[in-house]
A and B are shown apart, each in its own frame.
Chain A
Amino acid sequence: MSVPVLLDTNAYLRLARRVRPLLGVEFGQKQYVLTVLGDVEEEVLRSKRLRHRFPWFETDKEVASERLAKRVRLSREKREELEHSAGFLHDWVIGQAQRFVENGRAPPSAVDCRVLAYGQLWQAIVVTDDLAMHDLAGEFSIDVWHGHELLARLRSGRMVDNDQVRDIYAALEANGDLPATWRAARDKSFPRVFLRE
C-alpha cells in the first residue's frame, strides 16, 4: 500500500519545476506518492508576487496539468473533517502565540494547519521547511519531513539524479530561497552529490 506524502506550497514550489513527474508517482521501497492540497493553487494564483516570481506555475502546462490532476480531492464530509481538525490546530497555535514567535519561528497559519491536519487525519507524511510546523507536527505526532529529506528520498528512489539535486540546490541558492536546513544538510544528506565535486 502506498504512503501519501503531502507537500506544502513552498516545498512544492522548490521542486516542481525540476522534478518531472513529481506528483502521483510511486517511488521508493515504501511506495511514497506525492500530492498537494488545492490550497497551493489558491495561494499562488491570488498573489501577484508569487505569480511574478514563479511564472512557470501557470505557463508550464505539463506542471499545471499534473498538479490539477494529482492534487488531493476530498468529499464534502472529508473536507469538513479536515477543516475541523485544522481549526483545532490553529486554535492551539493562537492560544500559545508567544511560543511560536520566538527563535526564528512564526505561528503556523490556517493553511499550514490544514496541511498538518491532512497528515494527522490520513496518516500522510507532510513536507515543509517551516520550523514552527515541524514543532507543531512533533507535538501532535504527525510525520513530517524537511524538503531536503524528501529530495534525498527522491534521489534514492531514482526520481531524481545527482545532476538534478545539484541543479535544485543551485537554483534555490540563486533565488535566495535556500532554507538554512537545506544548507546544513547539503553535505551530510548528499555526500555523493556534493563532496565529490
Chain B
Amino acid sequence: MHKVVHSENIRAALAKKGWTQKQLAEALNVSAQAVTLWLKGEGLPRPDKLLKLATTLRLSFEQLVCVDDPDRPVVAFRKRAGTKTTDQHLNRALAMGKLLRPLVAFLPELRALRTELAHPTTDYVYLQRAAAQTRAKLGVGPQAVLDYRVLIGEFAANDAFIVPVLWGEKRTHENALHILLPATKVTFVYLNLDTRIEDFKFWMAHELAHVYTPEIAGSDEGEDFADAFAGALLFPEALAEAAWQEATRTRRKSDVVAALRRFADLHEISLYTVYCEVRAFAKAHGVRDLDLNEAVDIHAVRSAHRGQLVADRLFEPMPPDPAAYIAAAQHTFGSEFFASLQRMLREHGTGPAYVQQILGIPLADAAALHASLMR
C-alpha cells in the first residue's frame, strides 16, 4: 500500500528549513543518492528512516507517504450538545474505521439487496413521503408511537451493524458514530447507551437515515437530511397537525408548551423534536406559527424533564458485566457485531488492545470484554 513519498511536500519542508538535499541526507545518515531516489518517486525509505524523515521535517504520515486508499472510511458524528469536532476526533474515528476492516471478513454474509432513498432532500413533502413509506415498511401506522426496537431490523437488513457502547453521559464528544467502509458498503453504527431515551430514539432514526443514504453520508448535506428525516419519522405530519391544533387552541405560552409536552411524553421523543415538526408543518401549510421563545420555552422545559438513560433501562446493576452487555447487544439490538468479533478473536488470537481501540473504551474494560468473548 505504501509506495512513494510526497516529494513536493519534502521539497517544500526543505525550503522552509533552508536545507539542501545533502543536509537532509546527513541528518538521516543516508547517502545523498538515496534522498534523490526517494524524491524521484523511486522506492520508499525504510521505516526507521521514514520516521526520522517525518520528525526531522515535521511532516505527518499523510503528508509524507502517498497512500492510495479507496476504502478510506466515511465517518459521521452525532455530537453531544456544546461540543466541537476537532481533527483529533476525526482521526480517532477514521482509525476506528480502518481497524474495523479486518472484522468485515467475520461478519455474516453481506446482502445484495438494500433499501436506499432516492434523491434525498430536506423538502417537506419529500420527507413526509419518505417517513410514511418507512413507517409502512416497519408496520407502524402514521400516528402510532414508534418504538426504537422496530428500527433495529432495518439496520441489520442493510448491513449496518449496531455497536452499543457505554461512553458515559457527559465525558464523550459524540453520542453516536457512523462509520461506512466504502469498499464493502458495510456500516458500523455506534450508539451510546448512556443517553436519555428521547435522544436515543432520535439518534437511531438519524443513523437509519445515513444507512438509507450512503451516497451523502459524512457530508453536511447528509447530516441535515438525517436530522430532518429523523424528525419526520418520529413525529410525522399527521401527528404534527394534531399537535398544532391542540397547541393553537390556546394563547398562553405555558399551555402551548404543555400541549407539546403531552405529545413528546407519549411518543418518548424530545420536546424539541415535537416543536420543530409542528413548526415545519405550520410553514409547509401556511398556517399560524407557534409563538414561543425556543431557548426559554422549549430548551429550559426540556432540560428540566429528562427521560431515563437507556443503559439504566437495560442493565441492573450498572455497569453491566461483560456477558450481560454482550447479550444485550445481541438480543436487544439484534447485532451480530460481538458474535463476529468473537469469531475473529478466536481465529486470530487478537489481543484486548484491538477491542479497546474499536470500541473506544479503557484497556482494562476491553480486557474484561475480551476475556468474556474468548471463553
Taking CB atoms, residues of chain B closer than 8 Å to A104 are 348-351
Interface residues of B in 27-71 (CB under 8 A from A): 47-48, 51, 54-55, 58, 60-62, 64, 67, 69
Q: Contacts A91-B61, A101-B102, A106-B350 given: A121-B365 contact, CB under 8 Å?
A: no
B339 close to chain A: CB less than 8 A = no
**Additional A-B contact list (17), CB under 8 Å, known A47-B364, A81-B55, A102-B348:** A43-B363, A46-B362, A50-B362, A50-B363, A87-B60, A94-B98, A101-B354, A102-B349, A102-B350, A103-B349, A104-B350, A105-B349, A106-B350, A106-B351, A106-B357, A120-B48, A140-B51
**When each residue 18-55 of chain A gets 1 if its CB lies under 8 Å from chain B and 0 otherwise, what string results?**
00000000000000000000000001001111100100
Cα–Cα distance between A106 and B367 once the two chains are bound (Å): 12
Taking CB atoms, residues of chain B closer than 8 Å to A101 are 102, 344, 348, 350, 354
Residues of A in contact with B (beta carbons under 8 Å apart):
9, 43, 46-50, 53, 81, 84-85, 87-92, 94-98, 101-109, 112, 120-121, 130, 132, 139-141
Find out whether the CB atom of A91 lies under 8 angstroms from the CB atom of B47.
Answer: no
Q: B235 → chain A, closest Cβ, in Å?
A: 39
Taking CB atoms, residues of chain B closer than 8 Å to A107 are 99, 353-354, 357
Taking CB atoms, residues of chain B closer than 8 Å to A121 are 55
**When each residue 327-364 of chain B gets 1 if its CB lies under 8 Å from chain A and 0 otherwise, what string results?**
00000000000000000100011111111110000111
Taking CB atoms, residues of chain B closer than 8 Å to A112 are 353
Identify which of B60, B98, B368 contacts A97 (C-beta below 8 A): B98
Cα–Cα distance between A84 and B57 once the two chains are bound (Å): 11
Find out whether the CB atom of A85 lies under 8 angstroms from the CB atom of B51.
Answer: yes
Query: Which residue from chain B places its CB closest to the CB of A111 in the assembled complex?
Result: B363
Q: Is the interface of B mostly helix, strand, loop or mixed?
A: helix
Residues of B in contact with A (beta carbons under 8 Å apart):
1-2, 47-48, 51, 54-55, 58, 60-62, 64, 67, 69, 94-95, 98-99, 101-102, 344, 348-357, 362-365, 367-368
Q: A1 → chain B, closest Cβ, in Å?
A: 21
Identify which of B54, B69, B355 contacts A84 (C-beta below 8 A): B54
Going nearest first, the 4 A-B pairs with the smallest beta carbon separation are: A106-B351, A91-B61, A49-B364, A106-B353
Find out whether the CB atom of B348 lies under 8 angstroms from the CB atom of A95.
Answer: no
Find out whether the CB atom of A132 lies under 8 angstroms from the CB atom of B353.
Answer: yes
Find out whether the CB atom of A49 lies under 8 angstroms from the CB atom of B98.
Answer: no
Query: Which residue from chain B places its CB closest to the CB of A91 in the assembled complex?
Result: B61
Query: Which residue from chain B places its CB closest to the CB of A98 in the assembled complex?
Result: B102
Taking CB atoms, residues of chain B closer than 8 Å to A84 are 54-55, 58, 60
